[in-house]
Amino acid sequence: MKVYNTLTRKKEDFRPLAEKLVTMYSCGPTVYSYAHIGNLRTYIFMDLIRRVLRYDGYKIKGVMNITDVGHLLADADDGEDKLQKAAREQKKTPWEIAAFYSDVFFKDIAALNIAKPEIIAKATDHIPEMIDFVQALLEKGYAYEISDGIYFDIAKFPSYGKLSGQSVAEKEAGARIEENTEKRHPADFALWKKADKNHIMQWESPWGMGYPGWHIECSAMSKKYLGEVFDLHTGGIDAVPVHHENEIAQNEALAGKQTVNYWMHGEFMLVDGGKMSKSLGNTYTIAQLAEKGYDPLDFRFFCLNAHYRKKLNFTFEGLSAAKTSRERLNAALFKHKNGSSSLTAEKIASYEKEFEDAINDDLNIPLALAVLFNLVKEPYSADVYALALKFDKVFGLSFDKITAPKTDNGEIPAEVLDLSAQRTQAKKEKNFALADELRDKIAALGYSVKDTREGVVIVKL
């Protein structure tokens, strides 16, 4: 498999440390609100990598964090904690807020056929590991204490900025006016913040009561579960310039070596060509799409049609087109399921090769879908359906659950399609008496079935 590594800015052969096991960390949600379709695109991307790795025969040890603490607004080290703000607005505790939105998040991803990574790590369950990490950085001289917390000293880490390719000087030029005059460098970031009494979530530490900075959780939890060095780290593209840069600084300062071999980032989803934001009212959730009549898998299918490194513009026209296209695909697959034609071994092998070349070329899922669309144009055959089911291990579109379409291009009723499917099955089992009986039933409904070389054809009488 080839993957585009953000760190080297190149497509590289993916070679995990162990032969058949991939260790992988994915930045998870901050559970202070519902996940919107942009967030969910990033988790669909994570799921696709995991599915391709599995398809290729790897086992995965994947960790995803749940940020249920300390994640401040924007990239700032100052300001109100997002969870605390939601808690205040909804008159709940931050713990209640986190529990509620985590629950919705897991339901959303299940509806999108995104499998949960093997290990789900909540930040609040790992405060001691974070404190140990910060303490170790202090001992190694990479961190310093000031009146409001412990900060990472980026001057001690000369390769700071290597993931985004942004020098510290460039960063500084773009930075806002610094309020914290005690910091040694404006880009130094908080590892641990000392809490004032109004801060609800706070823990004991060697530096008094406080709470973690918002990058340390990923470093502490990846180290705990995956070890100092692991294969793959994923996240949304917005995490590159600050969050992942800081994670690298923390990890490498402690380990004294490179700790993540491949970094992969999913591009953003736009809405109507622009940014998604609460104030524009365009941060749709899965529940809101469902209210408008869209299945979560219509949204998954919509995402599958764009490469993960391309921006994807969400519109309702686009989603409707995806819905129609998915329905047609399912209807065709249903016919294949009951088809009587067959595919030669050479053809099967050739479709498989095209599909595998696509998915292994930096996750070219749109191309893999094009292979599937060619495949379903074959004469109706259960071989096509079997191959589609194999490809669905990557697509995750529930081809195993397809049922008779309600109407076939608005013409053939489901009942007739069902009877026809039963008849094909009866013929396969050489139960010709039943097959004839079913043919009569179909005729009584005003349709005739014919067996042709292209499979079963149903015509209105």
Among the listed ranges 149-157, 181-189, 200-208, 211-219, the one in contact with Zn ion (CB under 5 A) is: 211-219
Q: Which is nearer to ligand AMP, 193 or 265 (CB)?
A: 265
Q: Pick one of Zn ion, ligand AMP, none as the site partner of residue 218 (Cβ within 5 to 8 A by kind).
A: Zn ion
Nearer to ligand AMP, 114 or 276 (CB): 276
Strand partners, 59: 21
Going by the DSSP 8-state scheme, the letter that residue 229 receives in this structure is: S
């641990």: which residue's tokens?
192
In contact, 331 and 339? CB cutoff 8 Å: no
| The one segment of 20-28, 75-83, 313-321, 354-362 that binds Zn ion by CB under 5 A | 20-28
Footprint (CB under 6 A) of ligand AMP, residues 337-376 = none
Give residue for tokens 């087109």.
321
Closest approach of Cβ 168 to Zn ion, in Å? 21
Q: Which stretch binds Zn ion (CB under 5 A): 19-27, 89-97, 309-317, 349-357?
A: 19-27
Per CB under 6 A, contacts with ligand AMP among 196-255 are 235-236, 238-239
> Which residue in the block uniquely carries the two structure tokens 């025969």?
57
**Residue 38: which of Zn ion, ligand AMP, none does it interact with, CB under 5 to 8 A by kind?**
ligand AMP
CB 150 within 8 A of CB 138: yes
For residue 275, give both structure tokens: 């940014």
Answer yes or no: are the C-beta atoms of 291 and 301 closer than 8 Å.
no
Tell me which of 3, 27, 64, 66 binds Zn ion, using CB under 5 A.
Answer: 27
Nearer residue to Zn ion within complex by CB, 265 or 336: 265
Q: How far is the CB of 39 from ligand AMP (least distance, A)?
A: 4
Of residues 27 and 404, the one with the C-beta less far from ligand AMP = 27
Residue 41 or 122 with smaller CB distance to ligand AMP = 41
User: Is residue 216 a contact residue for Zn ion (CB under 5 A)?
Assistant: no
**Is the Cβ of residue 238 or residue 451 nearer to ligand AMP in the bound state?**
238
DSSP string covering 74-92:
TT-SSS-BHHHHHHHHHTS
Coil, strand, or helix at residue 64? strand
Asked if 268 interacts with ligand AMP (CB under 6 A), we say yes
From 30, 222, 246, 251, residue interacting with ligand AMP (rule: CB under 6 A): 30
In angstroms, what CA-CA distances link 91 with 94, 96, 235, 269, 407? 9, 10, 31, 32, 49
Comparison of 74 and 155: residue with beta carbon closer to Zn ion: 74
Out of 48, 218, 333, 363, point to the residue binding Zn ion (CB under 5 A): 218
Q: 159: which 2 tokens? A: 């390769």
- Select the binding partner of residue 341 from ligand AMP, Zn ion, none (C-beta < 5 to 8 A, by kind): none
Binding status of residue 72 toward Zn ion by CB under 5 A:
no
For Zn ion, how many residues bind (rule: CB under 5 A)?
Answer: 2
Q: No. of H helices and E strands in the chain? A: 15, 17
Residue 26 interacts with, from ligand AMP, Zn ion, none (CB under 5-8 Å by kind): none
Helices of type H across 256-381: 286-291, 296-304, 316-337, 345-360, 365-375
Nearest Cα residue to 410 out of 306, 327, 286: 327
Q: How far is CA 142 from the centre of its chain?
A: 33
Q: Which of 5, 6, 23, 42 binds ligand AMP (CB under 6 A)?
A: 42
In whole angstroms, the minimum distance from the beta carbon of 269 to ligand AMP comes to: 4
Nearer Cβ to ligand AMP (242/402): 242
Binding to ligand AMP (CB under 6 A) within 274-313 occurs at 276
Nearest residue to ligand AMP on Cβ basis: 236
210 exposure class (CB count in 10 Å sphere: 0-12, 13-18, 19+) = buried
Q: Long-range contacts for 95-99 (Cβ within 8 Å, ≥24 apart)? A: 95/68, 95/124, 95/201, 97/31, 97/32, 98/31, 98/32, 98/66, 98/68, 98/69, 98/122, 98/124
Strand partners, 413: 407
Question: Amino acid identity, residue 293?
Answer: G
Q: Cα(224)–Cα(219) distance, rounded to whole angstroms?
A: 9
Residue type, 43: Y
State which residue, 210 or 236, has the beta carbon closest to ligand AMP: 236
Contact set with ligand AMP (CB under 6 A): 27, 29-30, 38-39, 41-42, 235-236, 238-239, 268-269, 276
Binding site for Zn ion (CB under 5 A): 27, 218
